[in-house]
Amino acid sequence: MLPSSVSSFHTTNAPSTPLSPLSTFSSLSASSSSFSSSLSFQQSSLQYRHLVSSGPGSKTLFGINSKPKGILRVSCSTSGPLKVMISGAPASGKGTQCELIVKKFGLVHISTGDLLRAEVSAETEIGNKAKEFMNAGRLVPDEIVTAMVTARLSLEDAKEKGWLLDGYPRSSAQAESLEKLNVRPDIYVVLDVPDEILIDRCVGRRLDPETGKIYHVKNFPPETEEIKARLIARPDDTEEKVKARLDIYKKNAEAILSTYSNIMVKIDGNRSKEVVFKEIDSLLSQVQRDEVKSVKSENSVPESGSRSSQASVSQDKWRGIPTRLNNIPHSREIRNYFYDDVLQATQRAVNDGRARLRVDINIPELNPEMDVYRIGTLMELVRVIALSFSDDGKHVKVCVQGSMGKGALAGMPLQLAGTRNILEFMDWGDYGAKGTFIKIGSIGEQEVSEEDDMFILVAPQNAVGNCIIDDLKAMTVAAGSRPVILINPRLKVGIVN
């Protein structure tokens, strides 16, 4: 596999002895490798925390064993108001917990059922489209529901107060649609209740047709005999239909598990509503506290001075973004998955205010004929990221070590010192992006100018052993609070047997 990830990287005055292996973070979008470990080392007063992937029992350039660890994930936390998704089977108590969450945290409660009814009632364009499917007895397509959800999330109240997304997404397609639109919660809460309890809760429910109030023959009986006499069972609350709904829920829940597994928390819902909410309250409060600490840490820069002076803070955090691509040539379609994976994660991180991102790309040894493919893939990734941000009107500076094949990196397997030449002759679109919104230069403090909005630096792992480390450090400091994306191919040369 050719996994890529972004990891923490910050200045420090610690000694240059290797650090002990770091613990694994939770992931924004996870990749897996059969043999992965988390390592750290220090060199030239810069501390790097990153991931490596190699074969069983092998050693890296630094002679550190890589032991099988299973799935490895790196975290990229979000910022802003609280964002919560909650899921639960029918009769799991989800509605009650949503009411309590909204009351305590002031979140905007978003339910797809409510949205559909509101849009249809208001006869909006999207509501009319949904109504056509509903009148025909068909499910409303994912794209329509996702459009309604994202439109609701884009309103000011949801942006300012945060949101609670209730019972959505319900399928892998819906989850993937939200991911592509950068809609991701801070936490995914699942209410877990045994099937027999859920069936009992549903079958024992009774509806008061006059008030719309829901009762339960055992757990919540009616107040008077008069009310009891008029209660009716809902058509969907038969044991057969409840079991069918539970089967559908389980299949849907399993389908989206991989998308939110790293932020999912299961809550035992077979307890009183007060006890269940106490646990949810504790979890959400902890998420808020962690977020406040993160924001304070990132905002602890001097109040005065230019962008450059703002970078005098000693600890710039580099957040992780994992993805994957096999190490053999693939079709354009397959490679696009790789580019899109990195791009979406990078966009999410930058939009969430992250200023230091590092994309580690582990490139295993292949025969020399593969070098052109590998460097082409790497440079195309750089181009995709740069064009994406330039399309948003940002001025992007793309910088590489050395130029025209010269410099300390000349002669390395991937000829990274010649990437400047490759970048200069790449296709940068029909609208003159290169030279206006995108400029190409060398890694160094002298390349930083006030008109630059962000920087993409291409530098190999091996650079930490030569002079480029000082240039990287100086340029990162000069960039100040502006985003810096370090594309860091990990060349497997000099392996210790």
CA–CA gap between residue 42 and residue 468 (Å, rounded): 15
Q: Which of 310, 293, 338 is nearest to 484 (CA)?
A: 310
Tokens of 42: 């220090």
Instruction: Give CA–CA dist 84/20, Å, rounded.
Output: 35
What are residue 417's phi and psi, to 5 degrees? -65, -20
Which of these is catalytic: 49, 73, 83, 94? Answer: 94
> Any idea which residue has 């899921």 for tokens?
87
**Exactly one of 131, 213, 243, 245 is catalytic; which is it?**
245
- In the annotation, is 348 catalytic? no
> Would you say 413 and 371 are in contact if contact means Cβ atoms under 8 Å apart?
yes
Catalytic residue selected from 103, 180, 234, 251? 234
234 belongs to the catalytic site: yes
Between CA 119 and CA 127 the distance in angstroms is 4
Of 219, 227, 262, 221, the closest CA to residue 78 belongs to 262
Judge whether 251 counts as a catalytic residue: no
Is 492 a catalytic site residue?
A: no
Q: Which residues, other chains included, contact 169 with Cβ-Cβ below 8 Å and sequence gap of 6+? A: 85, 175, 177, 178, 256, 259
51-80 b/e with 16+ CB inside 10 Å = b?
Answer: bbbbeeeeebbeebebeebeebbbbbbbee
Distance CA 92, CA 218 (A): 16
**How distant, in Å, are the alpha carbons of 179, 197, 287, 320, 483 from that of 182?**
5, 36, 19, 16, 18
Catalytic, 152? Answer no
3-class DSSP state for residue 403?
A: coil
C-alpha–C-alpha distance, residues 234 and 324, integer Å: 49
DSSP state of 211: T
Q: b vs e for 148-180, b when ≥16 Cβ sit within 10 Å of the residue's Cβ?
A: bbeebbeeeebeeebbbbbbbbbbeebbebbbe
Catalytic residue selected from 49, 205, 348, 356: 205
Q: Which of 83, 129, 152, 170 is catalytic?
A: 170
Q: CA–CA separation, 246 vs 238, rounded Å?
A: 12
Is residue 51 helix, strand or coil? strand
Question: Which stretches does DSSP call E strand in 380-483?
Answer: 396-400, 438-442, 454-458
| Residues with a known catalytic role | 94, 170, 205, 234, 245
